[in-house]
Amino acid sequence: MQNTLMLKILPDHEQRNILLETMEVFNDSCNDISRTVFDNGFPNKYELHRLVYYSVKDKYRLPSQLVVRAISKVAESYKADRTRIHEFDRHGSIIYDQRILSFKGPDSVSMNTLHGRIRMPMIFGEYQRQRLSRVHGQADLIFRNNAFYLAVVVDLPEEPEYEPIGYIGVDLGVKNIATTSDDRNHSGDAVRQKRIATAKHRNRLQRRGTRSVKRRLKKISGKEKRFQRIVNHGISKGIVAEAKGTGRGVALEDLININQKTVVRRRQRYMRLSWSFRQLRSFIEYKARASGVPIKIVDPHNTSRECPKCHSIDKRNRKNRDRFKCVRCGYGGEADYVASLNIRSRAAVNQPTVA
């Protein structure tokens, strides 16, 4: 199983300028190569190499391996779309392979640039440290929020999946980010408060509507995402550890239901929420896979309307957003918890596999 790590590089002032210049020259050369591709009726990678290698190398003074990477970047890009000329962002990524990048110990990296090889420190957490030994061949140099990162793909060892003795049903929601059938609430309070504060700040800025405001809005949304990410990491870790510790699997609803049951009027807000759900789900799934915890995806229909006791399904069972009360047998409870019970019981049933 593969995962992408973001390693932050810490260049000094001079190194930073070198990286930036390398990136800009690299992408300028990509744009040059791109015109050749377009003007010459989309030659394949080998023909392209013959057409541009020496001229690009002379004109841009790039090390040969970076010329090769530029040709490759442009050729890959045209594989997907040949209807128009492609333009490359000045600060678009550079793919480094092992010939032009090497990790020196756990916290420094050596990279080829326009001005020779430079060695720079990097920072990363314990999480990355454990996995750096499993780095794959290449790393993407990325410039984001005024900082340089290396995006590297690592192999995570997967533990063999065990036979679960039952499942923890997990209901994902807005108010309660995750509710489990163990009656544990992973409240969205902190996230929601942050969201409200951020929304207010955003509105104030939007009323002003200048260009610098746009930049600040972008920064706010970055902060919000990072906060949400930390929360999602914590929740998913807790759920997976709980399942593993008790020999159970994790049951989740098929994703479509999240969209159906979340009443969100404004599209922008919907996009943010939907992004967060998908992230939490994917965190649960990959943490589970890494530690051998079985995941079961269940049919999401009516999980919030079915009675977990007598299994009658009725719209009126759901009094309001928070409360469930069965109109047939009288069973009542907190709505998200009831949904998680239904998710659990659906996972326990041996469902036929749909091929």
Q: Based on CB atoms, which residue is closest to Zn ion, 146 or 320?
A: 320
Residue among 62, 177, 307, 347 that touches Zn ion (CB under 5 A): 307
The letter for the amino acid at 134 is R
Q: Which is nearer to Zn ion, 15 or 181 (CB)?
A: 181
User: CA angle, corner 219, sides to 217 and 221, nearest 5?
Assistant: 70
Number of residues lying near Zn ion (CB under 5 A): 7
Instruction: Show the binding pattern over residues 248-287: x = contacts Zn ion (CB under 5 A), - = does not.
Output: ----------------------------------------
Q: Which of 16, 216, 225, 309 binds Zn ion (CB under 5 A)?
A: 309
- From the list 28, 47, 27, the residue with the least C-alpha distance to 37 is 47
Between 75 and 339, CB nearer to Zn ion? 339
CB of 339 to Zn ion, least distance (A): 14
Q: How far is the CB of 263 from Zn ion (least distance, A)?
A: 25
Task: Give every strand in the sheet of 108-113, ordered side by side.
Answer: 94-96, 135-144, 147-155, 2-9, 116-123, 108-113, 101-103
Q: What single DSSP character describes residue 180?
A: E
Instruction: Give the torsion through C-alpha atoms of 52, 57, 63, 65, to 10 deg.
Output: 10
Separation between Cα atoms, residue 57 and residue 67, nearest integer Å: 6
Pure H helices in 145-251:
189-208, 211-245
For the CB of residue 290, give the shortest distance to Zn ion in the complex, in Å. 38
Q: To which residue do tokens 């994703």 refer?
A: 255
**Binding pattern for the stretch 312-341 against Zn ion, x by CB under 5 A and - elsewhere:** --------------x-xx-x----------
Query: What Rg do the C-alpha atoms of the chain give, in angstroms?
Result: 25
Pick the piece of the chain touching Zn ion (CB under 5 A) from 102-110, 154-162, 221-229, 310-318. Answer: 310-318
Measured from the CB atom, is 256 or 310 closer to Zn ion? 310
Contact set with Zn ion (CB under 5 A): 307, 309-310, 326, 328-329, 331
